[in-house]
């Protein structure tokens, strides 16, 4: 697999003209994919808009959801694979080397955008109005990139990229709501998996369930799962796992048949002290204090 450390290597390896800037470039995607059939990684962030007619696009070993016009986001050193791609119309790719962000607020804030961590089982499907907003921002970046860049160009380009990311975050929230109406509440399906896990003694056999394992069963990435759950419930996946386990713990404490250490083991905790700490954080009481309050 080819790894491109620099944009110059990436451009040269694909037969493109040299980039206008060594750390930032723009590629236009015509009807035929300029990358051909290949698999590669880069040291760049990639933001791309495409309407894919046919072919396969893989990112992080996951087939992209690309039936409509969409934005996809790739982070450095993730595997990207393209095969026999044809596009409905022209698209674009922005290649942003990590070093291009040095000294700018995006250097840190870009890590706050969860969609760079989607595997990606969910691309951002744009409505016509949303598509127009993104294309207008792209046109502004294009103007700075090709027309006599000066000392202000980098700041202006990064400000427009920042706007794209902020709009993408807003549009993803809209997509979460739209898809919730189609596939049902993710939180309900999430809790069903947790209940089945406990009923089948998964806690005793394998310990606490992981967000990754539950996400795999829902066929979405862990970060996407947490973002959807946050939208639906105000809680992350891990927080909901803890709430579910504490609810089970309350039931066991009320029954009074098991000690605190036994309950902790039953629920998959490695030690009773961590269980006690989490229980108090969720309820304000230690397990034995809770049991006593129920008896009273």
Helices (H), 126-271: 128-146, 153-183, 186-199, 202-206, 211-218, 222-233, 237-255, 260-266
pLDDT value of residue 184: 47
Helical (H) or strand (E) element with 100? none
Find residue 54's DSSP bridge partners: 86
More confident residue, 175 or 146: 146
- Judged against a pLDDT cut of 60, whether residue 108 lies above it is answered with yes
Tell me the pLDDT band of 113, cut-offs 50, 70 and 90.
confident
Peptide bond into 286 cis (omega under 30): no
pLDDT value of residue 183: 44
Candidates 154, 142, 138, 151; CA nearest to 100 is: 154
pLDDT value of residue 24: 94
pLDDT value of residue 122: 60
Structure tokens at 98: 């990590």
CATH number of 2-183: 2.60.120
d(CA 184, CA 182): 6
More confident residue, 224 or 140: 140
49-64 tens-digit pLDDT: 775 544 444 444 344 4
Tell me the pLDDT band of 161, cut-offs 50, 70 and 90.
very high
**CATH-assigned architecture of domain 186-295:** Orthogonal Bundle (1.10)
Domain boundaries, the chain: 2-183, 186-295
Structure tokens at 126: 């744009």
197-215 tens-digit pLDDT: 888 878 778 877 888 889 8
2-55 tens-digit pLDDT: 788 888 988 888 777 888 899 999 887 654 444 455 677 888 898 887 755 444
């Amino acid at each position: 697999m080819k790894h491109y450390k620099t944009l110059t290597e990436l451009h040269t390896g694909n037969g493109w003209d040299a980039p206008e800037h060594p750390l930032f470039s723009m590629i236009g995607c015509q009807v035929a994919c300029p990358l051909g059939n290949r698999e590669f990684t880069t040291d760049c962030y990639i933001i791309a808009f495409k309407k894919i007619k046919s072919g396969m696009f893989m990112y992080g070993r996951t087939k992209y959801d690309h039936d409509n016009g969409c934005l996809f986001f790739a982070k450095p050193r993730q595997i990207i694979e393209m095969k026999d791609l044809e596009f409905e119309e022209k698209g674009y790719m922005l290649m942003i080397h990590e070093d291009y962000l040095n000294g700018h607020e995006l250097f840190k804030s870009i890590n706050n955008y969860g969609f760079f961590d989607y595997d990606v089982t969910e691309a951002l499907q744009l409505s016509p109005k949303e598509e127009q907003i993104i294309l207008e921002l792209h046109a502004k970046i294009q103007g700075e990139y090709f027309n006599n860049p000066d000392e202000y160009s980098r700041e202006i380009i990064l400000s427009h990229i920042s706007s794209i990311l902020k709009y993408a975050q807003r549009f993803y929230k809209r997509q979460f709501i739209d898809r919730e109406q189609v596939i049902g509440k993710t939180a309900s399906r999430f809790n069903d998996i947790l209940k089945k896990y406990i009923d089948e003694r998964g806690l005793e056999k394998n310990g606490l369930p992981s967000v990754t394992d539950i996400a795999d069963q829902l066929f979405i990435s862990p970060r996407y799962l947490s973002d959807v759950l946050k939208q639906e419930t105000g809680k992350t996946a891990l927080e909901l796992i803890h709430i579910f386990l504490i609810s089970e713990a309350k039931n066991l404490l009320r029954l009074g048949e098991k000690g605190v250490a036994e309950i902790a083991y039953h629920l998959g905790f490695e030690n009773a002290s961590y269980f006690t700490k989490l229980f108090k954080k969720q309820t304000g009481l230690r397990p034995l204090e809770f049991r006593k309050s129920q008896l009273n």
